[in-house]
Amino acid sequence: MLSRPEIRILNTAAELFQAAASEFATLASQAVQSNGRFTVALSGGSTPKSLYALLASGSIPNIPWEKIFFFFGDERFVPPDHPDSNYRMAREAGLFSKVPEGNVFRVHAEDKDANDAARAYDQALRKFFGLQSGEFPRFDLVLLGLGPDGHTASLFPGTAALNEQRSLVVANWVDKFQTYRLTLTLPVLNGAACVMFLVSGADKANIVREVLENENANLPSQQARPADGRLLWLLDRAAGSGLSHIGTEFTV
């Protein structure tokens, strides 16, 4: 049964990132208590950098860092030191300084061939999660952002990756950028125990309304709905300002 989204609107961006960090800490403790580890697929772009920096600051108590394993929901087809690299963004935020070195699984997007890079990451996930053929990983948390066109991860409208039902990771050609993006596929996102969208800023208000209130919009981010897990949308008031019922900290 598809999960109904929980929508929480926080008054300010600072409160949004604080709420996201608290959710992260709670989910981490629960996962470590139940399974001995916490597996997270990180989102990229600019929004999550504030969350990663807050988590790395040490101001959020009781995070079991030594048992946390970081992966990426998507990565740009660039080397890890490139300004566009999601790995570089998270590393510069200090997030990886908190966990043992072997607990960060980056996408080797410096490979010459995007499809080879995708296959390699696919294999790395299968090995880590001990998957048989046809099985999908169950991340404890998949963090996602929302692009102005309704994309999430690197699942852009009208792109081939949206139809992928077997691979865990694909190299997705994105026409508008004239480049490949490496992305987890929908079966992986939707196998998660918790998918958390983190959206901030007035520039996202229209697309947030479209995604959350127009069920016929047929946008990639609307397809990220765990089959058996939590779907949580964390918005600040600016990003949620277009919604028909607006309040603070309300859950629908």
Residue number, 23 or 74, with CB nearest to ligand 6PG: 74
Q: Contact, 24 vs 70, CB < 8 A?
A: no
Residues pairing with 104 in the sheet: 70
Taking the complex as a whole, how short is the minimal distance between the CB of residue 73 and ligand 6PG, in angstroms? 6
Residue number, 67 or 107, with CB nearest to ligand 6PG: 107
Q: Contact, 38 vs 67, CB < 8 A?
A: yes
Chain position whose Cβ is nearest to ligand 6PG:
145
Nearest to 180 by CA among 159, 162, 197, 194: 159
Residue number, 86 or 159, with CB nearest to ligand 6PG: 86
Residues pairing with 114 in the sheet: none
Q: Rule CB under 6 A: which residues touch ligand 6PG?
A: 43-47, 73-74, 86, 145-147, 151-154
Taking the complex as a whole, how short is the minimal distance between the CB of residue 7 and ligand 6PG, in angstroms? 18
Residue number, 46 or 248, with CB nearest to ligand 6PG: 46
Residue number, 44 or 67, with CB nearest to ligand 6PG: 44
Distance, CA of 27 to CA of 226 (rounded, Å): 16
Residue number, 44 or 240, with CB nearest to ligand 6PG: 44
> Residue 63 has which token pair?
């995070």
Distance, CA of 70 to CA of 107 (rounded, Å): 11
Residue number, 67 or 164, with CB nearest to ligand 6PG: 164
Distance, CA of 54 to CA of 178 (rounded, Å): 34
Pairing between β-strand 179-184 and β-strand 169-174 as defined by DSSP bridges: antiparallel
Taking the complex as a whole, how short is the minimal distance between the CB of residue 227 and ligand 6PG, in angstroms? 21
**Strands laid side by side in the 179-184 sheet:** 74-76, 179-184, 169-174
Distance, CA of 99 to CA of 65 (rounded, Å): 5
Residues pairing with 199 in the sheet: 235
Q: Contact, 71 vs 138, CB < 8 A?
A: no
